[in-house]
Amino acid sequence: MRITAVSSSPLVTGKSEFDRAADLVEALGSRGAGDRRVDVTLVGERRMAGLNREYRGRRGAAEILTFVYDDDPSPRGEGPAGEILICWKRLAASAARLDVSRRAYLLRLVAHGLSHIEGFSHGNEGEAERMEKREGEILEGMVPERDLARMLRG
């Protein structure tokens, strides 16, 4: 997959850190299946909360929302395969809770979104394990082992 990392606004929290990690985020795309484009966008907490309410029926901002676009199913289709939206404030809180770097957690969230776009789900324990295994494959060598172990169960 080809990833295009895009910051949505100069005022979004985390923009400078996100921009500094853009090359790493884009490099993850080569580890995803297919050759279609995936857009990764940093959004603010208020926008994320609105999207989370509209599309998932949940209150508050999520760390990540992934939208899979099925309108062009061919692997080399012209349209994007999907879009990954990330809220930096939520990302930073989770990274601190797990005692990992924000950059490592950003890459983990992007790998999580890529896994969804590839068709993985975490609806039950078995699916969650398969999805985390795929995330680990995508992240291998990109994130310190210590951080990877703290972010993934297996």
What is the CATH number for 26?
A: 3.40.390.30
SS3 49: helix
pLDDT of the residue at 51: 96
Largest CA distance in the chain: 40
Domains in the chain, number: 1
Rounded to two decimals, what is the model's pTM?
Answer: 0.91
Confidence of residue 5 (pLDDT cuts 50, 70, 90): confident
pLDDT of the residue at 25: 92
Residue 151 and residue 98 in contact, taking contact as beta carbons nearer than 8 Å: yes
Which residues form the domain of 27?
A: 2-151
